[in-house]
Amino acid sequence: MRSLLAAALVVIASTGAVVAETELSFYGGIQGAPHSGVSGSDPGGLGDFDFNAAWEGRSFEMPPHYGLRYTRWTSETFGWGIDFNHVKVYADDATLADNGVSRLEFSDGLNILTVNAYRRFPNAGWAFKPYVGAGIGISVPHVEFTTAGGDTFEYQLTGPAVQWVAGASYPLNDRWSVFGEYKGTYSVNEADLSNGGSLSTNIVTNSFNIGVSLGF
């Protein structure tokens, strides 16, 4: 009986090892953002302000757009994970000139950190594995805002964020794979200015990424 029990435990453990899979992923790509409203209060500078900002992504300028992801696949089809997405935006020159702003950007990142759920489709009949996912989390941008009223240049926790993703991975061997994906984010950003004012903007980003994953 003890031998049978031991054998059963070995089978269960080995089955769990086969089903459970951990991946560490790194990705980069091209990202951008549509226009969004920017409002707030800038004592000594703009006063109360409310304008529409045209954003540029500048994906390959330093620091570049990139992301890091931890995924735990608990079955062949379902997984969860944590994703750090360094998306960034810059207000274009026309936005700055038209509104009396010297600098408005999140060039050291909107820095979206989310907890995500994933669904993959390993038996679709293809060599690659399609997947989709979504998650919720926080935005921790580097706020860069300069007017006659002062200069704000610091990281802040500014509000909640969500992300959504769809892509496909292709195994190179039993440990390494490559992937391509579309990823979108929406972040609510309520920032404090160094002169006692405030800045508010909700930003959507869209990115097309390629990356590599290590499974173990």
Q: Set out the domains of the chain in order of their start, with CATH numbers.
A: 20-215 (2.40.160.20)
Average of per-residue pLDDT values in the chain: 91
CB 143 within 8 A of CB 110: no
- Model pLDDT, residue 1: 40
Rounded Cα–Cα distance for residues 122 and 143 (Å): 41
* Residue 205 predicted with pLDDT over 90: yes
Strand partners, 145: 104, 152
The pLDDT tens digits for 85-136 are: 999 999 999 999 999 999 999 999 999 999 999 999 987 677 899 999 999 9
* Residue 18 predicted with pLDDT over 70: no
Using pLDDT thresholds of 50, 70 and 90, give the confidence band for residue 20. low
- Model pLDDT, residue 127: 86
Rounded average pLDDT over 134-157: 98
Rounded average pLDDT over 190-212: 98
**One-letter amino acid of 52:** N
- Model pLDDT, residue 125: 73
Both tokens of 119, joined, read: 């669904």
Using pLDDT thresholds of 50, 70 and 90, give the confidence band for residue 52. very high
Say if residue 63 is preceded by a cis peptide, omega within 30 of 0: yes
As a whole-number percent, the residues of the chain with pLDDT over 90 amount to 87
